[in-house]
Chain A
């Protein structure tokens, strides 16, 4: 099928795609509304939100920061199934012709942004940290190369933008206005090629890293599995716990419930000590609001140093044991 081009959008309207999990709007939905408001203002258009799910009818008020809430409330939309949500969303976009569609760059939103853009024949900008309007042009900052570089891109016409969670203040998107509320008709949902089977709960954790005040986080820079002991010793000396970046969990070195980031947990400890972690956007999503961030990395240009308060350019294999020894000494144990 050749993607049909969207006719030149004359509107300056912005459409935000609300995200839902467990019967609630997620935090990033309000961040998107905050960003969407700025863009709509810049374009002189209205801000709409597409709110798809089940049980949404009673929850449209929470989306009061938008001018228009376009909601669908149907059992078929209860769980996120990319094909289903995409079909509904495509119909909404084709009928409303917004200038910009804002989607969350989350593990569910990612499944919508690019295919939607491909089907509509419009550009897509992934990994946006900022979106604004300059002389009628939508401009975005997109994080590329694991956050090592930022691309400033301009969209002359309509497009889809995927926004990284944590980029805008959710409070600014928690309006209590009285938006126009419209129930959108569901397009035909027959002939689907995918269906939801079940939800699998995260394993119970022996340690709940979201409640720890001190976290020693290890990344691929630790090198070998045997070296994890160095982090455990430091965590023990500090009275904290060990957590990790994704690759270590994918390797099976640590359980999933110790993973910090986009597809792991969000933590906000008093101290987050990142050892051998580069600071990819997906990792930062889960820890950037820790009170004190200390990073140890051999690469002085690692993006983790942009969010860290204190940095050490050095080898974790040398720094971790030195820290453990020093902590023990100060505590009068060593």
Chain B
């Protein structure tokens, strides 16, 4: 059983995001990149499958500032192999990544591809689902748990439907799954383990053939024009609380 986790680094949403001079892209100069949070869940699910079934886990991510750290961390968490997808340039679109993977992955051989359900920069769709579309493989997105058949031919997955409902589906492998949440929160590894992984492993490179893909023309990237914006209350916590509670009293919400 070979599980490939496809991840990507995205801007940390806790930081300020600025638009560049062209008005169409992100200002990448001071951007802090982190592994997409749902990819962390995909990795966790893969490591859980390894622990339960002895699967081999390969982690793959397009090259980006900080990708080495992310890959070594994945190795420290239990991945067996880590690879950088090189040759796609800076900030490739989901479509470019998916198309490149569709041509590169078959040579690697895999039974299951896990990706995060989506990433913050998936303007043109989610990598995993696009990849499944290219490869003609079955896929299920918004997955919150994967169980493998003992013989490794099928997976039983839990998919979220709206309103808190779940569906259980059976999928023949190979397949692509978009992981929303792993069966348990992503594990934490101490830095010392990451350092150890750096000594024990080397990162491999998978070169991507740039494939022509449909491109979206982004005319403008901007802050949302808010229909209404909050009226801000200032002051110390006590002052703010007094103002806010007065508003609630006025509206009959505190009596």
Contact = CB atoms under 8 A, between A and B. Distances in A.
B219 A153 contact: yes
A110 B141 contact: yes
A142 interface: yes
Contacts of A82: 138-141
A310 B126 contact: no
Contact of B132 (A115, A123, A195): A115
A257 interface: yes
B185 A146 contact: no
B92 interface: no
B164 A202 contact: yes
Contacts of B210: none
Contact of B125 (A114, A151, A152): A114
Contacts of B17: 145, 148-149
Interface stretch (A30-38, A169-177, A180-188, A258-266): A258-266
B203 interface: no
A322 B233 CA distance: 14
A111 B237 contact: no
B227 to A, nearest CB: 8
Interface in B16-69: 16-17, 19, 26, 41
A307 B98 CA distance: 34
Given A301-B16, A314-B240, 20 more contacts: A1-B136, A3-B134, A107-B159, A108-B161, A115-B133, A117-B125, A125-B124, A126-B126, A145-B120, A214-B253, A238-B253, A265-B163, A270-B253, A299-B14, A306-B230, A309-B231, A310-B231, A310-B233, A312-B232, A312-B244
Interface of A: 1, 3, 21, 26, 79-83, 106-108, 110-111, 113-119, 121-127, 139, 142-156, 159, 162, 192-202, 214, 238, 250-252, 256-257, 259, 262-266, 270-271, 278, 292, 294-295, 299-301, 303, 305-315, 318-319, 321-323, 325-327, 330-331
9 contacts: A117-B214, A152-B219, A152-B221, A153-B123, A263-B142, A270-B253, A295-B230, A314-B237, A322-B238
